Amino acid sequence: MAGSHHAGYAHTICEEMAASAKARGTGIARRTPEYVAQKMQEGKAVIALTQNGEWAGFCYIESWSHGEYVANSGLIVAPQFRKGGLAKQIKQKIFEQSKVLYPNAKIFGLTTGLAVMKINSDLGYEPVTYSELTQDESFWAGCKSCVNYEILVSKERKNCLCTAMLYDPTDHYKPGETSQEFKKKAKVHERLLRLKWSAFKKLFNKVKILSSLIS
């Protein structure tokens, strides 16, 4: 787990989060180094370091609706340490810590990445509609810094480019079951993500054109 003594890595982590989102062409709710450092101090973050102290990966916990909902946010792995299973290890660790700190909370996530969807399914998450997520305004306000925020607003927070996934401690399948189901539908998920991205981008471009004509 991360602690206050890891706060010096916060700026590097935030910069890599932004750079990674830009490289993928996807949105991300930006967080400040101060916010990331606070999560470290609260014991609500996982950081991965090499033996030489080089930063390798990170993820943190956020809670909403008075602890009824929890999100494992900001999962990021440094480029040189990717494709080696580190993201899954970090996600597993932060997931377990979330259950310790918030044993009755529903744990959810929003992602545009198929790899993260697979990791989530391995832990027992299931795809859900946005209506099943927290309706806490402070959570949705965090999306304002995402480049796709206007799409979210245009869809009245019922859908966006991200796929919503949820783990309900009182009503869930076993991780093996959700993982197997995801493997069966992996190609379908991949195709749906591409179609969603294409459709929403077309809609967003039309809205931009109409707005410019009106103004």
Q: Count the domains in the chain.
A: 1
Position 210 confidence tier, pLDDT thresholds 50, 70, 90: very low
Does residue 52 sit in helix, strand or coil? coil
In the chain, the largest separation of any two C-alpha atoms, in whole Å, equals 58
CATH number at residue 62: 3.40.630.30
Position 195: which residue type?
L
Q: What pTM was estimated for this model as a whole?
A: 0.79
CA distances from 172 to 64, 65, 75, 126 (A): 20, 20, 23, 8
Position 66 confidence tier, pLDDT thresholds 50, 70, 90: very high
Calculate the average pLDDT of the chain. 86
Domain that holds residue 94: 4-214
pLDDT tens digit string along 27-39?
Answer: 666 789 999 999 9
- Angle at alpha carbon of residue 151, lines to 123 and 125, rounded to 5°: 10
Position 209: which residue type?
I
pLDDT tens digit string along 80-139?
Answer: 999 999 999 999 999 999 999 999 999 999 988 888 889 999 999 999 999 999 999 999
Q: Give the strand pairing for 69-77 and 106-111.
A: parallel
What number of H helices and E strands is found in the chain?
8, 6
Token output for 179: 């993982």
Does residue 28 sit in helix, strand or coil? coil
